[in-house]
Structure formats: C-alpha cells, structure tokens
Amino acid sequence: MLNYSTSEENYIKAIFHLQQDEGTVTTNEVAHELSTKPASVTDMMKKLKTKKLLYYQPYQGFRLSPEGKKVALLIIRRHRLWEYFLAEKLKFSWDEVHEVAEHLEHVSSKKLIDKLDEFLGFPRVDPHGDPIPDENGKIETSPQVCLLDLPLNKPAIVCHVGDQSNQILELLNHKNIGIGTRMEVKKKFDFDNSMEIKIRQQLPFTISEQLAKNIFVRYGT
Amino acid sequence: MLNYSTSEENYIKAIFHLQQDEGTVTTNEVAHELSTKPASVTDMMKKLKTKKLLYYQPYQGFRLSPEGKKVALLIIRRHRLWEYFLAEKLKFSWDEVHEVAEHLEHVSSKKLIDKLDEFLGFPRVDPHGDPIPDENGKIETSPQVCLLDLPLNKPAIVCHVGDQSNQILELLNHKNIGIGTRMEVKKKFDFDNSMEIKIRQQLPFTISEQLAKNIFVRYGT
DNA sequence: TAATTATTTTAGGTTTGTCTAAAATAATTT
DNA sequence: AAATTATTTTAGACAAACCTAAAATAATTA
C-alpha cells in the first residue's frame, strides 16, 4: 500500500462518498464537495488515473477502481477510529469530532491505526453511527432504513445521520436525538410529510420531512 | 497564535533544538539537521524572518525570537504528549514513538492537545524523560547530570537520552536501561573512560564512554 | 596580508496543487 | 436540427518548498 498526499486522500475520499449513491461521479460534484474549482479536479483526476486509483475518460465522469476503493476505506477507517477516540476518550462532543479527525486521518502509520483500534476495543461504529472498516478495508453493511420509510409504531434505533452539518447537529442535540436513540414513529402527516415521533420517557413531538430524511435507523427495541 | 505549515514547524523545531547549546544557529547546521540543502534553509529563514519568528542578518546566523520560541515549545508540547500517548496507551515500544509523533505533532488543534493532556493525566515528562511544556509553553528545567559526571555510588534515575538513534535505543534496550531506570556508578576506568554501573537486582556491567555520554540522570533513589 | 577554502546567498529551475480565462464538448431548449 | 446553455478540459500562471550551479561573503591558512 503506497502513500498518498493529503490532497490526493481528500479527493479519493470525496469520490468514494459521492459514488455511494450514483455509480459515477462528475467533475462539478467533486469540486463542490471539496470547495475547489473544476479545473483543479480535472488535474487531479488525471493524476489519480495514472496511479490506477480510478477509471476516467474525459467528459465521462469517473469512479474508483477496486484499488481506489480500498484506499478510500482505509482513510475512512482512520477517520472513524479517530472520531471514536475523540468522543469516547477525550470527551469531545458529538459535533466537534469530525473537524479534528479530518486532520488526524492523514497520519498514515498502519501500526498506529491498528494499535489505536485495539486500544479502543475494536469499536464497530463511530460516534455518528457509521461503521468502521477493518484493517483490510472490509466494512459492515448493515440494513439501514431512512426514518421516512419506517413503519408506524415499529421500534428502531438511530444509527446514522445523513447530512452532518453543524446546523442539523444543533437541531438533533436540541431534540435529544443522537446515535443510539430509541424511537417509534407515531403518526405521519401527508400534507407536509412531517411526522410525530416518540422517544422513551418523553412526550411525542413533531419533526420535519427535511430532518426525517436525514435520520437513519435500524429495527430493534 | 497563527497556524504554520508542517515545513515551517520543522524548521522552527530544529532551530530551537540547535540553539539550546550555542545561542546562534548556522545555515549548515539546520540543513544537516533537516537533511535538506543550505539554499533551502536560506529561503525559509527569509520567510520566518518576515513572520517575526526569528532574528536573521545574512551571513550572521539566526536565533528564534521570543515569539518563535513560544511556537517551538508548543510544537514540542504536541510531540511529547503524543509520544506519551503512544507509549503509555497504545503500548508502542520506547524506540518507536518518535517517528509517529513527528507526524501527529503537526495537527494543531489546541483543544485536541489540551484534552489529550488531561486524558493522559497531565504527564510531566515524555517516554524519553524530556519535560512536556504546559499550554502556555512553560517548560520545567530540572537539573540533569550526564552519567559521565555522576559521582561514584550515588543513586540516580535515568531521565533523558541524548542521541535518540535506533542504534543507541537498541543497545539500551539490550542492557535493560530505560527512562526511570535506577542505577549507581561503581567504578570509572580512566584508560578509556568506560564505567561499571549497577542496576538493582542485576550484576554490575560495563558501558562505554560513548554510551555514558548520552545518558542523563537525576539524583534520587 | 594575500591566497585559499568553507559557508552562505542568489539566480533560476522543478514539482505539487491551486487558480483564471478560453476552448472544447455535452446537454438542453427552441 | 440549430442555437443556446452548462459542463469539462486545456493553456498558462502562481505560490510553496525544494533543488543545482554560480556568485558573494566570511574564515582560515600560508
């Protein structure tokens, strides 16, 4: 496994995240994701292509090669282990871990990461509920359901938040919703797709479609 | 406190270490320390001068300004806290921590470092026995004595190793000498300046002048 | 002191990663 | 299908950090 620059790693990670939904990723999408310019993206795509990390034909978009995906997963492993460390050991709050982990993730000593993993007790998900790849880049793909699609009165556990902006985290914090929170959907309102949800030992309250769209759960009590 | 690039930080740190002995540092010394070329050093000195981190007149060498010293001490703080973390929590061996800490030290979140400090229980020295600066860059200057200068039969504790090459660490490991090791000097041989030392529950053995020169101790049992 | 040697700086070039402006291609609308 | 609009790529430039080779300065030796 070769070493890649911080910049290269950020591009690889961005493409990995973007291609989860659609299979192929465009220049503009990456430029927007990384707050850079399309011309810079094209430059980097040419470079990553020569390194065989992605497939790329001019004007046709691109997607990671198997090798590229593996690199991406190892970066994500580093990122999520550091997030777990920051939240669990250093008592960072949920919404602060991401930014610091963005920097720590580029320290690429395999031994460091494997020992960190061991020290943390081989956690399976990070503080946002996202699964942590193992040292071979294998990731647990567990069936997540969007809160919008959750049937009424079915107990579920929050396991992931789509958008991770500060605004949404502030709102979730205010409403006492976090990873691991148990809830049921009590009512759905077709008018605006808002829904009423119930959390143990709390009165039911309403959340918007916008918010529900970004909350993902697993079945379970 | 501004942010500096990894490269700038490495130069600042190198100058700080070199000027401990002499007051002023030369271009060649820094080039050698950082395995780079004198021309590159001159470039960087001009840059750091405009940032008011050091005093520099062409051909006259340079030394850090008070501001530059403070920056250096905060980098050293990060380095040594990570070293402590790696050794104490992740069970890295003594001679492996330095290299990884070289990378981690450039992640410059103050909150991260202060919380790490707290998590570690505010350690006062790193695994090499070097003192850890506090969050204001204040450092404890305790009286260290070179093993060469230690009087006979005076109990002392190893607190620092001068040279930190892998070769010396391997040797120290083999002889069971590490930070915190208690010892006494039993005999000194003027012929080659070698000395016989005694470690608790071990037979006395001999070490070379070369080695003794690089071992520093504090008085104490 | 003059000549030689060593050190340091300057001048100009390279690589990485970025940018702007213009050209090429693709997608959309009329 | 042609024209317009949007996207992507190319061309050329820039800053950071490095390099080599040559010039300038300082230190040393004869």
Other residues' Cβ atoms within 10 Å of the Cβ of residue A143: 7
- Residue B220's pLDDT is what? 62
Q: Are strands A54-56 and A62-64 parallel, antiparallel or unpaired?
A: antiparallel
The structure tokens listed for A188 are 């759905």
At residue B221 the predicted structure's pLDDT band, cuts being 50, 70 and 90, is: low
The rounded distance, in Å, linking the Cα atoms of B114 and B214 is 31
Q: Which of A89, A104, A112 lies closest to B119 in CB terms?
A: A89
- Residue A21's pLDDT is what? 61
Look at residue A128 and tell me whether its pLDDT is greater than 80.
no
- Name every residue whose Cβ is closer than 8 Å to that of residue B36 and which is 6 or more positions away in sequence: B30
Quick one: A144 exposed, middle or buried, by C-beta within 10 A (0-12, 13-18, 19+)? Answer: middle
- Residue A220's pLDDT is what? 63
In chain A, % of residues over pLDDT 90: 69
- Residue B180's pLDDT is what? 79
Nucleotide nearest to A34 (CA to C1'): C18
Asked if the Cβ–Cβ distance from A90 to B100 is below 8 Å, we say no
- A-proximal residues of B, 100-129, CB under 8 Å: 100, 103-104, 107, 109, 111-112, 115-116, 118-119
| Per-range mean pLDDT, top range of A172-176, A178-182, B169-173, B205-209 | B205-209
Are the CB atoms for B214 and B158 separated by under 8 Å?
A: no
Look at residue A219 and tell me whether its pLDDT is greater than 90.
no
Q: What is the dihedral of CA B122, B126, B130, B131, to 10 degrees?
A: -10
Q: Tell me A148's DSSP state.
A: G
The rounded distance, in Å, linking the Cα atoms of B6 and B44 is 12
A38 touches strand D (CB under 7 A): yes
Nucleotide nearest to B5 (CA to C1'): D16
- Residue B69's pLDDT is what? 96
Look at residue A138 and tell me whether its pLDDT is greater than 80.
yes
Are the CB atoms for B196 and B205 separated by under 8 Å?
A: yes
Asked if the Cβ–Cβ distance from B111 to A100 is below 8 Å, we say yes
Residue type, B7: S
Q: What are phi and psi of A174, to 5 degrees?
A: -60, -35
Give CA angle at B23 (B19, B26), nearest 5°.
Answer: 65
Q: What value does the CA radius of gyration of chain A take, rounded to a whole number of Å?
A: 19
- Per-residue pLDDT reduced to its tens digit, B77-116: 999 999 999 999 999 998 899 999 999 999 999 999 999 9
Q: Residue with CA nearest D10 C1'?
A: A39
A to B CB pairs, distance under 8 Å? 42
Other residues' Cβ atoms within 10 Å of the Cβ of residue B191: 6
- The mean pLDDT value for A174-203 works out to 90
Rounded to the nearest angstrom, the minimum Cα separation between B116 and chain A is 6
DSSP H helices, A89-165, are 97-104, 110-119
- The residues that bridge with A196 in the sheet, in sequence order, are A187, A206
**Three-class SS of residue B44?**
helix
Helix (H) or strand (E) holding A133: none
- Residue A22's pLDDT is what? 67
| Among B43, B50, B54, B102, residue whose Cα is nearest residue B78 | B102
In chain B, % of residues over pLDDT 70: 97
Rounded to the nearest angstrom, the minimum Cα separation between B128 and chain A is 19
- Per-residue pLDDT reduced to its tens digit, B105-160: 999 999 999 999 999 999 998 887 788 999 999 987 667 889 998 888 887 888 88
Asked whether the CA dihedral B214, B218, B220, B221 is positive or negative, the reply is negative
- Name every residue whose Cβ is closer than 8 Å to that of residue A170 and which is 6 or more positions away in sequence: A95
- Residue B127's pLDDT is what? 81
Q: What is the dihedral of CA A98, A101, A106, A108, to 10 degrees?
A: -130
Distance between the alpha carbon (CA) of A166 and the C1' atom of D7, Å: 31
- Name every residue whose Cβ is closer than 8 Å to that of residue A174 and which is 6 or more positions away in sequence: none
Write out the DSSP string of A137-149: S-------EEGGG
At residue B73 the predicted structure's pLDDT band, cuts being 50, 70 and 90, is: very high
